[in-house]
């Protein structure tokens, strides 16, 4: 009797512990364990089928008076009106009217290729109590090596003798992200025209969010990095729009390689309705069951390897307690990946080579120079 009672009490205590961990995670917005037991929501999106892109043409409005004048000029006589017979009826079988066309209407307000205005950071970096070198050290530990804000604060204290709170590090990161984001988004990249995209998962406020990445597969340049609570068509449209805005013009043979999620096909329909045309190549599943998947799977594998690189830096954070923190972390990672991180496929060169950074001796100095260049860019935009 006693062993059964102890076993029952043990199960109750274990259940209570799980409830406490869940409630603490919901309050703090972060997972309190090193491993997330909950799996991301995997919707069976293959059940939604999207038809081929329809031919969308703009029919010009015609003036009947102009048409009558043109007819008279061409034939030398006016067009006679139709004389209908009295009590005449025309019978048409009902089957001729059973023709339907399903037209998809997008019920959200979004303008393709529209410019965006930068947000003002909460912390004025020109009035920081720390030097540019210390700020560069913080970003090197926090972004390059993926340390959490608390571990970064500990390293700054134990190794460099600089006392700083983890919340101050978060504030610095958020402010730097807002400054460098316009520089990342409007930089005149030299692109290859070979683009791939996919979405991955991160935790924000204890819930799974979707991170949409678009990448130049040859130059290894991140072109879009959208964080969204939903895996929907609007998120795919915004991610594709980030790529299109970085092109000087839309090539005729432009194509984007993505997975089998139909939201990308719906996004293609949306842009076609606005006169922007490109192809979407979908790589479906893990095996090559169709010619398109077989041809474009190498590009899909490139974006998957990029996801593994990002997750290596993201995992120590155990999620984010606010939307702002997630966007800032992703923005800083993209700045590091595009401008500061050497890539093996590029012979250990960074994807975007900036001569101003090459001559600098170490990473903290490069971070400081990159921030200064981003600030100069903002000043030029404000003029």
Q: Each residue of 225-264: pLDDT tens digit?
A: 999 998 889 999 999 999 999 998 888 888 999 988 889 9
Residue partners of 222: CB distance under 8 A and separation at least 6? 213, 214, 215, 306, 334, 337, 338
Residue 37 has a pLDDT of: 47
Q: Give the orientation angle of helix 323-339 with respect to helix 166-186, to 10 degrees.
A: 60
Residues, the chain, total? 383
Residue partners of 49: CB distance under 8 A and separation at least 6? 262
The backbone torsions φ and ψ at residue 323, rounded to the nearest 5 degrees and listed phi first, read -60, -40
Rounded CA gap, 12 and 313, in Å?
37
Residues of the chain with pLDDT under 50: 37-38, 92, 94-101, 117
Q: Is the pTM of this model over 0.85?
A: no
Residue 57 has a pLDDT of: 64
The backbone torsions φ and ψ at residue 74, rounded to the nearest 5 degrees and listed phi first, read -80, -40
Q: Give the orientation angle of helix 149-158 with respect to helix 166-186, to 10 degrees.
A: 110
Find how far residue 34's CA is from the centre of its chain: 26
Structural domain boundaries of the chain?
Answer: 123-187+321-383, 191-319
Residue 349 has a pLDDT of: 93
CATH classification of 191-319 is 3.30.420.10, yes or no?
yes
Rounded CA gap, 125 and 367, in Å?
13
């Amino acid at each position: 009797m006693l062993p059964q009672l102890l076993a029952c009490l043990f199960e109750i205590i274990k259940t209570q512990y799980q409830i406490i961990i869940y409630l603490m995670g919901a309050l703090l917005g972060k997972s309190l364990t090193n491993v997330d037991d909950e799996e991301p929501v995997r919707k069976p999106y293959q059940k939604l089928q999207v038809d081929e892109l329809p031919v969308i043409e703009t029919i010009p409005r015609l003036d009947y008076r102009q048409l009558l004048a043109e007819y008279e000029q061409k034939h030398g006589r006016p067009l006679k009106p139709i004389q209908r017979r009295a009590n005449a009826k025309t019978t048409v079988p009902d089957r001729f009217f059973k023709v339907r066309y399903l037209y998809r209407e997008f019920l959200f307000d979004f303008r393709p290729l529209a410019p965006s205005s930068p947000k003002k950071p909460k912390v004025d970096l020109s009035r920081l109590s720390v030097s540019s070198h210390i700020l560069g050290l913080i970003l090197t530990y926090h972004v390059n090596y993926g340390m959490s804000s608390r571990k970064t604060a500990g390293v700054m204290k134990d190794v460099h003798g600089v006392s700083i709170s983890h919340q101050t590090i978060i504030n610095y990161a958020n402010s730097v992200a807002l400054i460098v984001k316009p520089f990342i988004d409007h930089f005149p990249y030299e692109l290859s025209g070979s683009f791939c995209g996919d979405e991955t998962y991160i935790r924000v406020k204890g819930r799974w969010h979707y991170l949409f990445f678009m990448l130049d597969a040859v130059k290894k340049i991140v072109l879009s990095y959208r964080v969204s609570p939903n895996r929907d068509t609007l998120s795919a449209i915004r991610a594709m729009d980030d790529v299109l805005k970085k092109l000087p013009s839309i090539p005729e043979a432009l194509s984007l390689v993505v997975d089998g999620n139909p939201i990308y096909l719906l996004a293609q329909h949306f842009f076609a309705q606005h006169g922007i045309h490109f192809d979407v190549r979908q790589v479906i599943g893990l095996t090559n069951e169709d010619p398109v998947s077989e041809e474009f799977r190498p590009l899909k594998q490139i974006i998957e390897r990029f996801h593994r690189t990002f997750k290596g830096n993201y995992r120590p954070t155990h999620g984010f307690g606010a939307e702002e923190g997630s966007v800032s972390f992703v923005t800083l990672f993209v700045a590091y990946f595009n401008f500061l991180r050497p890539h093996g496929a590029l012979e250990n060169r960074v994807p975007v080579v900036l001569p101003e950074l090459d001559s600098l001796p170490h990473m903290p100095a490069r971070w400081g120079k990159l921030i200064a260049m981003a600030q100069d860019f903002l000043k030029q935009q404000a003029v």
